[in-house]
Structure 1
Amino acid sequence: MLEIKNVSKIYNEGLQFQALKSIDLEVEEGEFVGIMGPSGSGKSTLLNLIGTIDTPTSGKVILGGKEPAKLNSEELAKFRRNELGFVFQNFNLMPTLTVEENIILPLTLDGEKISVMTKKLNIIAERLGISELLKKRIATISGGQAQRVAIARAMIHEPKLILADEPTGNLDTKSSKDVMGLLEDLNQKEASTILMVTHDPFAASYCKKIVFIKDGELVKEIYQNGTREAFYDDILIALKEIEGAQNEL
């Protein structure tokens, strides 16, 4: 599904800074992988490279057998719309549009038929429990509901990979549980492949594998082999082993 081969990223704006150093990572189809590490460790940089928002200085990012860095701007835009689904901390929804209009936006940009959009919209809205919200404006719904809408938008075009960047960062405890339970269901029942950046051990406990980054390098991987509660404890232990991780708790 996803191969990251010897990827490094160096920023040369002002003082040179190496954000990532020789990263190697594979994500299999149907995996739910979390990325954790101290602030400034390179988590967001890695997600931006995978999401084709940025390009590596060296090495390769290969998704579904394609190397996005070699695509032209038109091909890249189409690749991003068709192959990737994005879920952000601040939802990134269009406040002037209705819930329905936000969800079908990727299909609208691709010029999909109205009949096809309507069918896909009804299926995804029913699956995520937001059918009654479709005609409402974004400004009138809660944060937890908004994140469900964002997940619906990310899923409606059936992407190969969902990229979630701190998806519970702006949510209260109950909404966080609801959203993570939803992502877990999508992974387990729909076999969706999900890659999530988070600093929250609770959110991370829903993943099946956690990759830890420190100073731009992959330093540890752990896997869920038992209960989610036991995995949560394993995550806390792993974070404490990484210098500076105490500030993340």
Structure 2
Amino acid sequence: MLQVENLRKIYGETMKYEALKGIDLTVNDGEFIGIMGPSGSGKSTFLNLVATIDEPSSGKILLNGKDPHQLNQEEIAAFRRNQLGFVFQSFNLLPTLTVEENIVLPLTLDGEKVAVMKRQVKEVATRLGIGNLLKKRIAEISGGQAQRVAVARAMIHQPELVLADEPTGNLDTKSSKDVMGLLQQLNEEEKATILMVTHDPLAASYCERIVFIKDGKLVHEIRRQNDQQAFYNQIMEELAAIEGVDNEF
């Protein structure tokens, strides 16, 4: 569903910096993939390019065979709303709106009927265990609950691809496990395709596959077999081999 071919990103004019140096990656329908690597390795740059937040210097990004970077600004805005779901470290929720209003925001922007929005928000909120929070303001709920709201907003329009950037970065261990369990559940039960950047090996252990980026290059990848603890240990070993765990955290 996502095909990335020889993706490069260069910043600067006189002092050029090559953030990505020819990334190739195929993401199949229903995969849950983690992207890991040292700080400054190009992880977030890669995610921003897939999200059309930034433009590649060269190479291709194809989502279901189409290149979103060939669209005009209006079409790109519609593409983000309709085909992508976003989950951020900082939640990116609007504090002046209620939980319900935050969740339905993508549908509101698309001019969806109120009756449809009411039905869909009830369904997704119940599924994510936040049905009792719909009338609360964001300031009235916990960080873990806020991230559940962010996941609900990302999923309400059933996007082709969910992009998560350090989704557990501002959460305690219990909330992190809850949110990652939720993403894993959405992946397994609803076949949501998820691409997640993370520094956290525990969060990464919920993925099916981890790709490691270092110095702008995809250097290695590993797949989970069945045992999550064994996968966690394997991730720790890979991080130590690539950069040294002490430098990573």
What TM bracket, shorter-length normalisation? over 0.9
Secondary structure of 2:234's aligned partner: helix
Alpha-carbon deviation of 1:13?
Answer: 5.3
Code of the aligned partner of 1:199: H
Alignment TM-score, normalising by the size of structure 1: 0.98
Q: Give the structure 2 partner of residue 10 of structure 1.
A: 10
Alpha-carbon deviation of 1:243?
Answer: 2.9
Name the CA distance, whole Å, in 1 between partners of 2:13 and 2:126.
47
Equivalent residues, number: 249
Secondary structure of 1:199's aligned partner: coil
Q: 1:50-109: CA deviations, max 9, x gaps?
A: 111011100000112210110000111000100000000000000000000000000000
Secondary structure of 2:136's aligned partner: coil
Name the CA distance, whole Å, in 2 between partners of 1:13 and 1:134.
48
Structure 2 gap ranges (5+): none
**Residues 97, 138 of structure 2: 8 Å contact kept:** yes
Matched, 1:158 2:158: yes
Code of the aligned partner of 1:59: G
Code of the aligned partner of 1:117: M
Q: Give the structure 1 partner of residue 233 of structure 2.
A: 233
Q: Give the structure 2 partner of residue 75 of structure 1.
A: 75
Name the CA distance, whole Å, in 2 between partners of 1:140 and 1:117.
23
Alignment TM-score, normalising by the size of structure 2: 0.98
**Residues 7, 56 of structure 1: 8 Å contact kept:** yes
Q: Give the structure 2 partner of residue 126 of structure 1.
A: 126
Q: Give the structure 1 partner of residue 114 of structure 2.
A: 114
Alignment of 1:139-158 (within 5 A): 139-158=139-158
Name the CA distance, whole Å, in 2 between partners of 1:162 and 1:244.
29
Alpha-carbon deviation of 1:214?
Answer: 0.2
Q: Give the structure 2 partner of residue 184 of structure 1.
A: 184
Alpha-carbon deviation of 1:212?
Answer: 0.1
Distance 1:76 1:21, change over 3 A: same
Code of the aligned partner of 2:114: I
Secondary structure of 1:100's aligned partner: helix
Secondary structure of 1:202's aligned partner: helix
Matched, 1:44 2:36: no
Name the CA distance, whole Å, in 2 between partners of 1:111 and 1:48.
26
Secondary structure of 1:26's aligned partner: strand
Code of the aligned partner of 2:167: P
Secondary structure of 2:111's aligned partner: coil
Secondary structure of 1:77's aligned partner: helix
Secondary structure of 1:144's aligned partner: helix
Q: Give the structure 2 partner of residue 207 of structure 1.
A: 207
Code of the aligned partner of 2:233: D
**Residues 3, 62 of structure 2: 8 Å contact kept:** yes
Matched, 1:105 2:120: no
**Residues 38, 244 of structure 1: 8 Å contact kept:** no
Name the CA distance, whole Å, in 2 between partners of 1:243 and 1:105.
40
Name the CA distance, whole Å, in 2 between partners of 1:10 and 1:17.
5
Name the CA distance, whole Å, in 2 between partners of 1:245 and 1:67.
36
**Residues 239, 246 of structure 1: 8 Å contact kept:** no
Alignment of 1:15-26 (within 5 A): 15-26=15-26
Determine what percentage of the aligned residue pairs are the same residue: 68
